[in-house]
């Protein structure tokens, strides 16, 4: 399941992020890569323990916590502290799969979902598409600044080399209460349908109440908390 979330950050927030990130230090992005990914990765990154990364990451997490579409799609249990990267001309990231487990201090996160929050508008760079592979083929993702894409961390994916300009983003992983992508997709479809039906007939309608009960009972069956 590949899902786009619009306007996770406002235009003013994106501008503030870019202003502050432009004044910070960047390091080789391979510092957070596993052995396989390190051979494929060519980008720059704000150090994971940099105060600015933590501060901006908290803003991202706050925005996600207020975003019903994110909660519905991810059913988050834990969200890895957001990191920040940039791809300048000639940089890219060859095909890889994200590490199954990530560490932040003593806390371990199972990476069920990967997230990329774009901080550069598409017209400001050429190349740099996030290309996600699944059973239906390849999907090129290049979103407006402030928009975010969620996709299964099990997916093969890559970032096409930058031809012109620079692509900045925040990236991180989510441990979901429901680890199965297929089950999360079903729950997300149910939640979307319930919300649409509720808008037409009201939340107190018997059909809405029944469907909502089934939705929550499925979460009870499948959730790991």
Q: CA-CA distance, 21 to 63, in Å (whole number)?
A: 18
Instruction: Please tell me whether 157 is known to bind a ligand.
Output: yes
Residue 34: per-residue pLDDT: 58
Instruction: Please tell me whether 98 is known to bind a ligand.
Output: yes
Q: CA-CA distance, 82 to 170, in Å (whole number)?
A: 6
Instruction: Please tell me whether 164 is known to bind a ligand.
Output: no
CA 136 to chain centre: 20
Residue 15 tokens read as 């501008």
**Cβ-contact 188, 1 below 8 angstroms:** yes
3-176 folds as Jelly Rolls (2.60.120)
pTM of the predicted model as reported, rounded to 2 decimal places: 0.94
Q: Residue 39's pLDDT band (boundaries 50, 70, 90)?
A: confident
Provide DSSP, 1-59: --EEE--SS-HHHHHHHHHHHHTS--EEGGGG--HHHHTTEE-EE--TT-HHHHHHHHH
What does the pLDDT look like over 55-86, one tens digit per residue? 999 999 999 999 999 999 999 999 999 999 99
What does the pLDDT look like over 139-181, one tens digit per residue? 999 999 999 999 999 999 999 999 999 999 999 999 999 999 9
Q: Residue 36's pLDDT band (boundaries 50, 70, 90)?
A: low
Residue 37: per-residue pLDDT: 63
Residue 176 tokens read as 């979901």
Q: CA-CA distance, 36 to 43, in Å (whole number)?
A: 15
Asked whether residue 30 carries a pLDDT value surpassing 90, the answer given is no
- Which residue do the tokens 């890895």 mark? 80
Domain residue spans in the chain?
A: 3-176, 181-222
Instruction: Please tell me whether 181 is known to bind a ligand.
Output: no
């Amino acid at each position: 399941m590949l899902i786009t979330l619009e306007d996770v950050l406002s235009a003013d927030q994106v501008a503030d992020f870019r202003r502050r990130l432009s004044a910070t230090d960047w390091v080789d992005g391979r510092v957070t890569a596993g052995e396989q990914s390190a051979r494929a990765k060519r980008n720059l990154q704000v150090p994971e323990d940099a105060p600015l990364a933590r501060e901006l990451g908290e803003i991202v997490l706050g925005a996600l916590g207020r975003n019903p579409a994110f909660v519905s799609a991810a059913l988050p249990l834990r969200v890895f502290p957001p990191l920040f990267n940039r791809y300048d001309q000639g940089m890219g990231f060859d095909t890889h799969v994200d590490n199954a487990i990530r560490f932040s201090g003593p806390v371990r996160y199972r990476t069920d979902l990967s997230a990329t929050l774009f901080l550069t508008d598409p017209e400001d760079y050429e190349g740099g598409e996030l290309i996600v592979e699944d059973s239906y083929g390849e999907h090129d993702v290049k979103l407006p600044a402030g928009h975010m894409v969620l996709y299964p961390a099990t997916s093969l994916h890559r970032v096409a080399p930058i031809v012109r300009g620079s692509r900045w983003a925040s990236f991180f992983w989510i441990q979901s209460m429901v680890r199965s992508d297929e089950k999360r997709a079903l729950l997300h479809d149910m939640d979307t349908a319930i919300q649409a039906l509720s808008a037409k007939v009201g939340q107190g309608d018997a059909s809405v109440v029944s469907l909502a009960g089934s939705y929550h009972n499925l979460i009870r069956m499948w959730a790991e908390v």
